């Protein structure tokens, strides 16, 4: 079946967070795709909506099977159904777990630059972020294991939030690196929350490695956050899961999520997830191919027309991490770009680390919008050089 990713869908007037912008502005910031989700998911939601009664809802009988089968078939990971707990979203789960698995005043380790909402989950809970910057060398990010061990050895660090694949830099962490991270965390008594929400958005032919799959240690000390929402553009449905293989840790997690009331599904949450994992594979593969073509188009355009902006080569996500350190006042450029051209990108400083010299650009849109965005970026750069 051929899927149409080229035809723009009008999102203004739909209360879209992404598109709540001024007339003439082009939002390419938040991680929200401008594509309709898979037909099978829309059909499943429509069938349920047609019933007309939307009372308190249990999960469908095959919800856990759908997750487990997808991870077995797609990611070669035998994830036990009993390890899965429904949550309304990955961020609510992380915030709840920070409160349950740490005490006020403790430190939570993150590798920066990283998804900025992690800092909200930490600080709003009365904890402190322990930043361990990634190494940025020759246009590529990597783990600084010496710095990581030094940070983990701090007795005030009791939890690490891992981003796998890593947002915003698009890096897929391999089994060797994940195993070393797990071994260090085990040595220093640190629990790992692995945010794997972008795991299905890898380049064609590339696979991500689930943290819990690489060793018994990693399985034992970790909570993995999963969802169909990024891959299938379902963020507004509020459907996700955590997988916790170790029984005692799972009990703590279960208590945390239920105490905070973030473990009850809305009427569409379970059926949308099950439909995605049961029937969405062909659509997702077509999407990944389209996103890869968008990424290559953008990379060529930048190299040929905007050499002052360098793309950090990625293997996953639909977010391009753009090095604008060659521009004067790089940290201020996102504001200038929006004012002068209407292009709205995410300023990299919120991701900390060396993010002040970067912009994050969402390329999950029809090609005509991507081309518009790239042309605006070119005009914005020319206005400051």
User: CB atoms < 10 A from the CB of 62, how many?
Assistant: 15
- The answer to pTM > 0.95 is yes
Each domain of the chain, given as residue ranges in start order, spans 26-38+281-384, 43-279
Identify the three-state secondary structure at position 167: coil
Distances (CA, A) of 282 to 39, 279, 287, 313, 363: 11, 8, 9, 26, 20
- Average pLDDT rounded to a whole number, residues 198-206: 98
Q: Which residues contact 293 (CB under 8 A, 6 or more apart)?
A: 367
CATH 3.40.50.2300 fits 43-279, yes or no: no
pLDDT in tens, 7-19: 999 999 999 999 9
pLDDT in tens, 258-279: 999 999 999 999 999 999 999 9
> Rounded CA gap, 38 and 286, in Å?
10
Identify the three-state secondary structure at position 40: helix
Q: How confident is the model at residue 309 (pLDDT cuts 50, 70, 90)?
A: very high
- Whether the predicted pLDDT of 30 surpasses 90: yes
Please calculate the CA angle 145-149-153 and round it to the nearest 5 degrees: 170
* Longest Cα–Cα distance in the chain: 59
- Whether the predicted pLDDT of 188 surpasses 90: yes
Token readout for 310 is: 């360098």
Class of domain 26-38+281-384: alpha beta
Q: Is the peptide bond before 113 cis (omega within 30 degrees of 0)?
A: yes
- Average pLDDT rounded to a whole number, residues 166-180: 98
Model pLDDT, residue 195 = 98
- Whether the predicted pLDDT of 367 surpasses 90: yes
Distances (CA, A) of 232 to 40, 53, 239, 285, 293: 11, 25, 11, 11, 18
- Average pLDDT rounded to a whole number, residues 184-191: 98
Model pLDDT, residue 1 = 80
- Whether the predicted pLDDT of 323 surpasses 90: yes
Q: Is the peptide bond before 168 cis (omega within 30 degrees of 0)?
A: yes
> Rounded CA gap, 70 and 148, in Å?
32
> Rounded CA gap, 303 and 129, in Å?
36
């Amino acid at each position: 079946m051929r899927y149409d990713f080229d035809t723009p869908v009008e999102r203004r007037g739909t209360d879209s967070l992404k598109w709540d912008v001024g007339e003439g502005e082009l939002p390419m910031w938040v991680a929200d795709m401008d594509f309709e989700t898979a037909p099978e998911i829309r059909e499943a939601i429509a069938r349920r909506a047609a019933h007309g009664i939307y009372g308190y809802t249990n999960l469908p009988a095959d919800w856990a099977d759908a997750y487990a089968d997808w991870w077995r078939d797609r990611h070669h990971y035998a994830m036990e159904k009993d390890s899965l707990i429904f949550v309304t979203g990955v961020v609510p789960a992380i915030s709840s777990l920070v409160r349950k698995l740490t005490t006020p005043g403790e430190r939570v380790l993150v590798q920066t630059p990283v998804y900025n909402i992690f800092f909200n989950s930490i600080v709003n809970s009365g904890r402190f972020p322990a930043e361990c910057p990634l190494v940025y060398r020759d246009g590529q990010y990597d783990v600084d294991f010496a710095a990581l061990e030094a940070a983990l050895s701090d007795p005030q660090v009791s939890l690490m939030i891992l981003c796998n694949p890593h947002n915003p830099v698009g890096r897929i962490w391999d089994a060797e690196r994940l195993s070393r991270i797990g071994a260090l965390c085990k040595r220093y008594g640190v629990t790992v929350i692995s945010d794997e929400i972008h795991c299905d958005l890898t380049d064609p032919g590339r696979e991500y490695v689930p943290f819990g799959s690489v060793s018994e240690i990693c399985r034992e000390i970790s909570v993995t956050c999963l969802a169909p929402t990024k891959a299938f553009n379902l963020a507004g449905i509020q459907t996700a899961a955590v997988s916790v293989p170790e029984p005692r840790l799972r009990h703590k997690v279960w208590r945390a999520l239920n105490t905070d009331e973030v473990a009850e599904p809305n009427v569409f949450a379970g059926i949308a997830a099950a439909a995605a994992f049961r029937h969405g594979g062909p659509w997702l593969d077509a999407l990944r191919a389209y996103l890869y073509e968008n990424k290559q188009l953008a990379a060529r355009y930048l190299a040929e027309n905007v050499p002052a902006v360098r793309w950090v080569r990625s293997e996953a996500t639909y977010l391009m991490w753009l090095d604008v350190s060659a521009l004067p006042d790089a940290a201020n450029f996102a504001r200038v770009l929006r004012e002068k051209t209407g292009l709205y990108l995410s300023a990299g400083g919120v991701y900390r680390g060396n993010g002040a010299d970067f912009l994050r650009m969402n390329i999950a849109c029809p090609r005509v919008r991507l081309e518009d965005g790239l042309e605006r970026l070119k005009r914005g750069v020319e206005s400051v050089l």
